[in-house]
Chain A
């Protein structure tokens, strides 16, 4: 069976065993994430594989395997168990779990429906952020840069990064369908 990247749903091409504090962990990454984690160093003739042994001591292992700071689960452990370790895994592996969830849910990526009262503000903020992100995209496509900058400032004031907002642009369709209050 083709093993998937610990960080995304691409096939893993780099497989390493890392030892940190005497604990052995296996890492499986796609080329892109291997570069990001420093397991592949992009060379003049394209990315060159650097064997982990050479890197030991240079690249701290904790940078190589991302784990949930709350429960210690890695994305690989989550995949193997088919279960996340704690609610915060979803924040920490937002991107990876998001891809997995969308695949399992036939393309859907945004919750629609009930929410606990304590999350009302959170839901409103997400809806506003989606709306602003859509406006930002429109402004950029129309080359209205001054307006775009203002929208970006509002987005940043909301506590999210402009780049986060772009990641949520896809969700705007669901919102238009009356998804979020």
Chain B
């Protein structure tokens, strides 16, 4: 099966006290479960669902005054967040949070890049297990987000709609009978839902098939982005695909097609490419994987791009069984921990002056 074939069947055209700027502790931000590999983790790093919601009677964020925005934060904070938040919720006053901590939240996919940089009153609620977050005053008043490792969109969607239904008791969401949920950007109206999967496609890249993947994604009305979502280029072997159509199809249909038809096609295509590589020249593939391990275990200076490039090769090795000495969970944890804010937190190095610290950190982790 090729992505171009797949193109033909594509769809038609608060309950806790807000903390203000208290430093974050990485030790408390643990998401990765080492005991059990998540579904389809060989090709899918993580799944995410976002819902955009806005409050009736308030201007959208781009047009609202700072006091109005502060009022929105206050209202959402006084609403009871159920579902994944029942185990504990941490409110972060992002406006009062240090730049390094904001970046840390971004690297953990809990807030978006524009949310890091913005100046206006805003906050984020984070569930204690870090699977759920609610950004208040991003482009929309609320951006509800659920995140899970591997491909787990169906259970994520169920939890998301439970949270949405619970919030609806406390907050009146802007809704139009024809346009659906109203969002600041007219292209997000309808369900206001974006679902995405972060795919790991190293074999397709090696076989120079990624252009085809990009084209297939376009035919399927998907957006393709890089490691850190919106506004980033596809970085190395990682591709984030997400739905673009939000109107005219139910949430259920969108999730169903995306998670049981579209993403499995990319997975099947990548698995076929891995098989082809192994059959053609296993020694070359092994050499590629073990050279990467050699570099990561011995290097003295390591940029972020290099780290991701070589970790991706280890990931390919671990998920195909060619590399057994480094577990997949460790590789995925390193993909997060080599990011600048995480590294700075772990090693005390300066943001941006971190090549030596990154090399040492990775060497130790892979010892």
Determine whether the beta carbon of A116 is less than 8 Å from that of B185: no
With A84-B186, A106-B12, A125-B177 known as contacts, the answer to whether A113 contacts B62 (CB < 8 A) is no
- On whether the beta carbons of A114 and B56 are closer than 8 Å, the reply is no
Q: Is the CB of A116 within 8 A of B12?
A: no
Q: Is the interface of A mostly helix, strand, loop or mixed?
A: loop
Chain B residues with CB under 8 Å of A98's CB are 178-179
Contact A114 B247 (CB under 8 A): no
Contact call B191/A109, Cβ cutoff below 8 A:
no
A154 contacts B by Cβ under 8 Å: no
User: Roughly how many angstroms separate A101 CA and B176 CA in the complex, as a whole number?
Assistant: 13
Query: When the two chains form their complex, are residues B184 and A83 in contact, meaning their CB atoms are under 8 A apart?
Result: yes
A119 to B180, CA, bound (A): 10
**Residues 86 to 113 of chain A near chain B (Cβ within 8 Å):** 86-87, 90-91, 97-98, 100-101, 104-113
**Distance of B181 from chain A, by nearest CB (Å):** 8
CB-CB nearest in chain B for A114:
B251
How distant is A150 from chain B, measured CB to nearest CB, in Å?
A: 24
Q: Which of A87, A106, A116 contacts B168 (CB 8 A)?
A: A116
Task: Give the chain A neighbours of B248 by CB distance below 8 A.
Answer: 105, 107-112, 174, 179
Interface size on B, residues (CB 8 A): 41
The residue of chain B having its C-beta at the shortest distance from the C-beta of A72 within the complex is: B63
Whether a CB of chain B sits under 8 angstroms from the CB of A74 is no
| B185 touching A114, Cβ below 8 Å | no
B151: min CB distance to chain A, Å? 22
Chain A nearest CB from B169 CB (Å) reads 8
Bound Cα distance from A103 to B111, whole angstroms: 29
Report whether A112 and B249 are in contact in the complex, using a CB–CB cutoff of 8 Å. yes
A112–B250 touching, CB < 8 Å: yes
- Write the nearest CB–CB distance from B253 to chain A, whole angstroms: 8
Alpha-carbon separation in the docked complex, A110 to B179 (Å): 6
The answer to whether B63 touches A101, judged by C-beta atoms less than 8 angstroms apart, is: no
How far is B172's CA from A174's CA once the two chains are assembled, in angstroms?
26
Q: Is the CB of B59 within 8 A of A71?
A: yes
Majority secondary structure, B binding face: loop
Interchain CB contact under 8 A, A106 and B245? yes
A116 in contact with B177 given A71-B63, A85-B60, A87-B182 (CB within 8 Å): no
Which B residues are in CB contact (< 8 Å) with A117? 168
Q: How far apart are B190's CB and chain A's nearest CB, in angstroms? A: 5
A126 near B: Cβ within 8 Å?
Answer: yes
CB-contacts of A132-181 with B (<8 A): 168, 171, 174, 179
- Interface status of A73 (Cβ within 8 A of chain B): yes
Q: Which residues of B from 10 to 38 have beta carbons under 8 Å from A?
A: 12-13
Complex Cα gap A118–B176 (Å): 11
Judged by a CB distance under 8 angstroms, whether B58 is at the interface is yes
Closest CB-CB distance, B244 to chain A, in whole Å? Answer: 8
Q: Are B12 and A101 in contact (CB under 8 A)?
A: no
| B247 and A110 form a contact (CB under 8 A) | yes
Is the Cβ of A97 less than 8 Å from the Cβ of B249?
A: no
Chain B residues near A87: list those with CB within 8 A. Answer: 54, 56, 60, 174, 176, 182
Q: How far is the CB of B222 from chain A (nearest CB, A)?
A: 12
Residue B164 at the A interface, CB < 8 A? yes
Q: Which residues of B contact A113 (CB under 8 A)?
A: 180, 190-191, 249-253
On chain B, the residues within 8 Å of A84 by CB distance are 60, 182, 184-186
A64 to nearest B CB, angstroms? 22
* Contact bitstring A34-62, B, C-beta under 8 A = 1, else 0: 00000000000000000000000000000
For the complex, what is the distance from the CA of A107 to the CA of B247, rounded to whole Å? Answer: 9
B247-267 interface bits toward A, Cβ cutoff 8 Å, 1 = contact, 0 = none: 111111100000000000000
Q: Is A23 an interface residue when CB atoms closer than 8 A count as contact? A: no
Q: Write the chain A residue with the least CB distance to B249.
A: A112
Chain B residues contacting A90 (CB-CB under 8 Å) are: 176, 179, 182, 186, 189
Query: Taking CB as reference atom, which chain A residue is nearest B54?
Result: A87
- A101 touching B186 by the CB < 8 A rule? yes
- Interfacial residues of chain B within 154-206, with CB under 8 A of chain A in the complex: 161, 164, 168, 172-182, 184-187, 189-191
A85 vs B139: C-alpha distance when bound (angstroms): 11
Taking a contact as CB atoms under 8 Å apart, the answer to whether A108 and B249 are in contact is yes
- Compute how far the CA of A91 lies from the CA of B248 in the bound complex, rounded to whole angstroms: 19
CA–CA, A100 and B174, complex, Å? 19
- Could you tell me if A83 and B189 are in contact, using CB atoms closer than 8 angstroms? no
Which residues does chain B contribute within 8 Å of A111, judged by CB atoms?
176-181, 189-191, 247-248
Residue of A nearest to B177 (CB): A126
A82 within 8 A of B: yes
A115 proximal to B (CB < 8 A): yes
Cβ of B127 under 8 Å from chain A: no
Known A91-B176, A107-B248; further 16 A-B contacts with Cβ < 8 A = A84-B186, A85-B62, A86-B60, A97-B179, A101-B179, A101-B186, A104-B186, A112-B180, A113-B191, A113-B251, A113-B252, A115-B180, A116-B168, A116-B175, A118-B175, A119-B175
- 7 closest cross-chain pairs (CB), A and B: A106-B13, A108-B248, A111-B180, A126-B177, A87-B174, A113-B250, A85-B63
A-B contact pairs, 5 of them (CB 8 A): A98-B179, A105-B245, A113-B249, A114-B161, A116-B175
